[in-house]
């Protein structure tokens, strides 16, 4: 006799999981990965580290070498750095620590869908604010949402995925002055942008900045992200995360990557230049765009249905992100900056589809 599974908790409600279809195409510009692999010397150094690793033993639970190196990069103390398997796991650990049943967290749509998704999984009530029509965020709307919901976590995303806009220092200052709890600035695309909130982090301010190796470091496959925040907050996260959550290989890779910072920075500069070229080319087509400081550009075909354009691009072996069903983004598509060749393939296909 088969026995049924218990009814799962209803934290997710009717919400669907957050998935980007992994379609087989030759030009993949849908998940904001780097089009460039990390340098050969990095892979060689990592292979040597694998050879030397005592895999029968648990890894360093406190990942001290990686933590100290990241602290040095950002001019903070190691106790102010927390790492996890992708910045999504960093966000999840924040929710496990400061969210949960009976608590609220605030986001401002349109923004990164995982903030709300992880919040709901952890039983946190999501308070949803709205950006203006041009996708800037006004402090009056922030105040309205914070007054209404008194969230224990307030999320900003700068540059904001999927709109590409950054938040100004003035806005982050005002949000910090207004928020009743923790303020999280998700800087997954921080190195592409003209400004970072990292310098605002101290032990005395309820602010954390999250970063990831997935985009600028060309290491999405490795799954490593981190935050910089007050030491007392990091201690709370450390107390809740699973033991040995950061495996030995991830620790080694994150540390070794920092030896190739110059390579990372030149990849980022090349992608920023390429973003400007692609944005200028989009200006000449019948699409609406928004200014981006990240490695992607959001656009909306003016004369065609966005979902149809998405399909016709796939038919030409170009995959971009279809944002059509996301809050406030009807008809919008998001293209990740690729190599010049990939971007030309995208622009050529789009021109064809729109003509």
Ligand X SMILES: *Cc1c(COP(=O)(O)O)cnc(C)c1O
Catalog residues that contact ligand X under the rule CB under 6 A. Answer: 32, 86-88, 112, 157, 161, 186, 188, 212, 214-215, 220, 225
Q: How far is the CB of 18 from ligand X (least distance, A)?
A: 11
Query: What number of other Cβ atoms are within 10 A of residue 176's Cβ?
Result: 18
Q: Which is nearer to ligand X, 73 or 281 (CB)?
A: 73
d(CA 264, CA 272): 12
CA distance 331 to 243: 44
CB of 98 to ligand X, least distance (A): 17
CB of 208 to ligand X, least distance (A): 13
| Complex with ligand X: residue 189 or 299, whichever CB lies closer | 189
Residue of 166, 119, 108 whose CA lies nearest to 18: 119
Longest distance between any two alpha carbons in the chain, whole Å: 65
Q: CB nearer to ligand X: give 97 or 161.
A: 161
Q: Are strands 318-322 and 27-29 parallel, antiparallel or unpaired?
A: parallel
CB nearer ligand X, residue 196 or residue 349: 196
Burial of 275 from C-beta contacts in 10 A (0-12 / 13-18 / 19+): buried
Q: Report the residue number, 108 or 112, with the smaller CB distance to ligand X.
A: 112
Q: How far is the CB of 228 from ligand X (least distance, A)?
A: 15
Q: Which residue's CB is nearer to ligand X, number 152 or number 214?
A: 214
Q: C-beta of 31: minimal distance to ligand X in Å? A: 8
340 burial type by CB count under 10 A (0-12 exposed, 13-18 middle, 19+ buried): middle
Give dist(CA 100, CA 95) in Å, integer.
7
Return the number of the residue (249 or 354) whose C-beta is nearest ligand X: 249
Residue nearest ligand X, Cβ-based: 86
Rounded least distance, CB 146 to ligand X, Å? 21
Instruction: Estimate the crossing angle of helix 87-98 against helix 231-240, to 10 degrees.
Output: 90
Note whether 167 and 193 are within 8 A (CB): no
- Minimal distance in Å, beta carbon 237 to ligand X? 16
Write b or e for each residue in 220-255: b if 16 or more Cβ atoms lie within 10 A of its Cβ, otherwise e.
bebbbbbbbbbeebbebbeeebeeebbbbebbbbbb
């Amino acid at each position: 006799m088969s026995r049924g599974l218990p009814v799962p908790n209803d934290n997710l409600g009717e919400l669907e999981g957050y998935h980007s279809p992994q379609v087989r195409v030759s030009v993949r510009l849908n998940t904001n990965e780097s089009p460039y692999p990390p340098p050969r010397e990095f892979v060689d150094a990592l292979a040597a580290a694998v050879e030397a690793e005592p895999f029968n033993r648990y890894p360093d639970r406190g990942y001290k070498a990686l933590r100290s190196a990241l602290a040095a990069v950002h001019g903070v103390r190691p106790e102010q750095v927390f790492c996890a398997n992708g910045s999504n796991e960093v966000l999840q650990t924040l929710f496990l620590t400061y969210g949960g049943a009976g608590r609220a967290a605030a986001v401002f749509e349109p923004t990164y869908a995982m903030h709300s998704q992880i919040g709901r999984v952890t039983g946190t009530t999501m308070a949803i604010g709205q950006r203006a029509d041009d996708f800037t965020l006004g402090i009056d709307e922030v105040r309205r949402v914070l007054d209404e919901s008194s969230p224990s976590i307030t999320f900003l995303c700068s540059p904001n995925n999927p709109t590409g806009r950054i938040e100004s220092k003035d806005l982050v200052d005002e949000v910090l002055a207004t928020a009743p709890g923790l303020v999280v600035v998700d800087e997954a695309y921080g190195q592409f942008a003209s400004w970072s909130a990292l310098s605002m982090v101290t032990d005395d301010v309820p602010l954390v900045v999250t970063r990831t190796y997935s985009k600028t470091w060309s290491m999405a496959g490795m799954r490593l992200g981190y935050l910089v925040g007050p030491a007392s907050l990091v201690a709370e996260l450390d107390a809740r995360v699973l033991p040995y959550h950061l495996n030995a290989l991830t620790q080694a890779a994150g540390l070794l990557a920092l030896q190739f910072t110059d390579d990372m920075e030149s990849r980022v500069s090349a992608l920023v230049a390429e973003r400007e070229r692609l944005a200028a080319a989009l200006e000449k087509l019948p699409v609406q765009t928004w200014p981006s400081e990240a490695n992607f550009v959001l656009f909306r075909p003016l004369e065609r249905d966005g979902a149809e354009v998405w399909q016709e691009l796939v038919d030409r072996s170009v995959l971009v992100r279809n944002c059509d069903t996301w809050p406030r983004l009807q008809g919008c598509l998001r293209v990740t900056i690729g190599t010049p060749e990939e971007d030309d393939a995208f622009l050529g296909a789009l021109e064809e589809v729109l003509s």
